[in-house]
Amino acid sequence: MRTARVAIEATLWLLFTSGLAFATDMLKAVGLPPAEGTIVSAAFSPDNIHLAIIRSNASDRQNELHVLDVRTGKEVSHVSVQEESFRQDSQHAMSYSSDGRYLLLTATGADAVLVFDTTEFQVAKRIVLHPLARPLLSQRPNNFRGVISLATASKADIFGVLTHDELRGNEIFIGSFSSLAISKSWSIGQGRTFSQIGHSALSLADDGLQVAVSILPEGNKVPKNFDNLRLYDSKTGSPLNMIRTGALIGRSKYYQIRPY
């Protein structure tokens, strides 16, 4: 019996590795409710039922947040996003809290994040990241300042935001949904935001205790002393580990590998 099973497995392996039985699923497109505008951001709820999207409508210069039920394709609710620091044409970023109660929303280059309460579908808190900074700086075309990346922990009520300032460098902000406030922020030095061949990004461990960041160096090569993958303690901001990958990094995500 065991011999037969081994033989079957060996046959399957040979078929697979020789390509004879190589098979893939085709991704199936599902229709969304027709609406004007371009979707500039999307996020799934933790229960896999809802898809939140931001639609940017050039005709009325308005961005709208829509929540859809993916099982039916129907819209559950929508609201206009009223935030002056979010440029309508910029890329937006969204992420649900681990319990699905809150939806964190921001836009590239903005200096604020909006926390939507998904039960009442209204803004629970507007969190300004640099309340004392002069807003003029971000208006200059060569002085980009603002959000680059956003993430939430999948098993904790913690969120993180990565910002860039041409003069002051990059900063990490850690906050919690329970306090609806930033609890810790620290600078991680210079680095670019994104380019055609790379992207600076932040992601959190499932428990939110660690935050990983990928940073683009100033040039098109990674300098010898430049660690472009970094791991920090979310509570203290202390560096835990650094890696120089040798090549520029696009998007990145931190996750714990499980045995398979």
Residues in touch with another protein (CB under 8 A): 18-19, 22-32, 38-39, 41-44, 46, 48, 51, 53, 70, 73, 91, 154, 196-197, 212, 229, 231, 240-241, 243, 245, 250-251, 253, 255-258, 260
In whole angstroms, how close is the CB of 99 to another protein at the nearest point?
A: 13
Q: Within 10 A of 72 (CB to CB), how many other CB atoms are there? A: 9
Displacement of CA 37 from its chain's centroid (Å):
22
**H-run or E-run covering 2:** helix 2-18
DSSP SS3 for 137 = helix
Give me the amino acid identity at 72.
T
Which of 120, 61, 117, 122 minimizes the C-alpha distance to 86? Answer: 61
R_g (Cα) of the chain, nearest Å: 21
CA distance 192 to 69: 37
Select 59 or 260, whichever has its Cβ closest to another protein.
260
Residues 6+ apart with CB under 8 A from 76: 50, 67, 68, 69
Q: Within 10 A of 13 (CB to CB), how many other CB atoms are there? A: 11
